[in-house]
Amino acid sequence: MTPPGTLAAAWLIARKDLAIEFRTRSAFLSALVFSLLAIVIFRFSWDPTAVAALDLAPGVLWVTFTFSGLLGMHRSFGVEAHDGAMDALLVAPVPREAIFIGKALANLLFVLGVQAVALPAVVLFYNLPVGNGVFALIGVMLMAAIGLACIGTLFAGMVANTRMAELLLPVLALPFFVPIVLPAAQATAQILADRPLSASLAWLRILLAFDLVFVYACTLAFPFTLED
Amino acid sequence: MTANALVEAAGLVRTFGTRRAVDGLDFALAPGECLALFGPNGAGKTTTLRVLAGLLKPTAGTARIGGHALPAVEARGRVGLISHRSMLYDALTARENVVFAARLHGLTDPDAAAERALEALRVADRADVAVRALSRGLQQRVAVARAIVHAPDVLLADEPYTGLDEQGSAALTALLQERRAAGAALVVVTHHLHEGLALASHAAIMLSGRFVRFERAAGLDVPAYAATYRGLVA
């Protein structure tokens, strides 16, 4: 009987979270409906004679991704709080870091799932030309999703046992989302404007640097959020 | 450090703010020993158990499981925790919950281990039902199956009989006795003196974070002990 290593335990936890989400679909449907509603509302409040679609769309995309992602991240620790399930996870012989990596991985797949539906909706509603830059755009979304999932998971764990978790999570996480969302939105704008990838390179480097910082810092910080 | 002790608390203190929920506990349990912990609400029983499970850090003193200081992974891997809360995922089936626990403990055949644990609690026939669709008593049986699936050396049980019917209580008592006979050390927190003393090798009454009585359970006059308990907590 050898307990699983950090990555194996993280994968078990991620699989368990995804299985729960697949059964209930509550967070994914909420995030999806929120995303589509936000995109539609932005579309109807948009004056095309004042602002070009290419200028507005990156903002719409990243506002939508950021807030819809938070819905799933809040839910990821909600399932642990129910009837004390987190205690069983903490007693199990797995490193605390594995819990974070597993939760963050499940949240990453959640955010990517929402993005996979929201991106075509934005392209459709704003009639965006993404033909050549679609793979670059997917790359930016993946890089940003990694940072968002790490920060969101850390703060979701931190506020899970507080009375106002739904309020505290966005208040605490949003300032830390800025270094991820800003370069992601800027790179998205460059790609949608059909500029060469070299024009986005500086933003992509910033995004990658913050991804690395947040993956490392959040993994190290997470065990301390579990202390009473 | 006491030689051969599976559970050991030395000068164990746990405070919340200025309140000392656990106030200097010293005890050790060897393999096959069982401590029944009695006391009124707020006496510090659950906090003691949570410290021994590695869920709370001691403010002072040490808690060890099998010689490993908590919350080391080596110590936690030897512990099974039963609580009055089910600690289950209600969207998953009973089997999925137990298999998940078995996998986290690195069992070589988690499916077979889960099946054995569910059978021991007489809930195998409901193994593929989502936990949310089970009654409270059946959920508690699944929770016990989850806690014992890896045959822990140390079983910590906080009000384990919560919600169990007569058949479930009998299955749990048999299982706890079986674990004890197999050499596990048990700490059982309960308000039921008769059930607790029937299981225990040692009995303790806890008040305000301290043991006011700690003795061997063998030979205890249960009615006299119950009267003493009632007098102490009154």
For B92-121, write each residue's pLDDT tens digit.
999 999 999 999 999 999 999 999 999 999
3-state SS class at B233: helix
Residue B150 contacts A, CB cutoff 8 Å: yes
- Percent of chain B exceeding pLDDT 90 equals 72
* pLDDT(B2) > 70: no
Top-confidence residue, A84 or A104: A104
Which pLDDT band, with edges at 50, 70 and 90, does A66 fall under? Answer: very high
Chain A residues lying within 8 Å of B92, measured CB to CB: 16, 19-20, 23
> Distance between CA atoms of A122 and A126, rounded to whole angstroms?
6
Q: Which residue of A has its CA nearest to B17?
A: A228
For position A199, what pLDDT does the model report? 87
Mean pLDDT calculated for residue range B194-220: 91
Residue B81 contacts A, CB cutoff 8 Å: yes
For position A127, what pLDDT does the model report? 86
* pLDDT(B156) > 60: yes
For position B20, what pLDDT does the model report? 93
For A84, which of B73, B74, B83 is closest by C-beta distance? B83
For A120-163, write each residue's pLDDT tens digit.
999 888 888 877 788 999 999 999 999 999 999 999 999 987 88
For position B144, what pLDDT does the model report? 94
Which pLDDT band, with edges at 50, 70 and 90, does B128 fall under? Answer: very high
Which pLDDT band, with edges at 50, 70 and 90, does A228 fall under? Answer: low
Which pLDDT band, with edges at 50, 70 and 90, does B3 fall under? Answer: low
Mean pLDDT calculated for residue range B152-159: 94
Contact B141, B88 (CB under 8 A): no
Q: Which residue of A has its CA nearest to B15?
A: A228
Chosen for mutation from A6, A91, A96 (greatest number of chain B CBs closer than 10 Å) is: A91
3-state SS class at B182: coil
* pLDDT(B1) > 70: no
Rama region for B26: left / alpha / beta (φ>0; ψ in -120 to 50; rest): beta
For position A134, what pLDDT does the model report? 87
For B28-71, write each residue's pLDDT tens digit.
999 999 999 999 999 999 999 999 999 999 999 999 999 999 88
Strand intervals (E) in B106-224? 154-158, 185-189, 202-207, 210-216
For A88, which of B73, B74, B87 is closest by C-beta distance? B87
ipTM (interface pTM): 0.90
Chosen for mutation from B104, B109, B134, B136 (greatest number of chain A CBs closer than 10 Å) is: B104
Determine whether the interchain pair A93/B130 forms a contact, defined as Cβ–Cβ distance below 8 Å. no
Residue B203 pairs in a beta bridge with B36, B215
Would strands B60-65 and B7-16 be described as parallel, antiparallel, or unpaired?
A: antiparallel
Q: Which residue of B has its CA nearest to A21?
A: B91
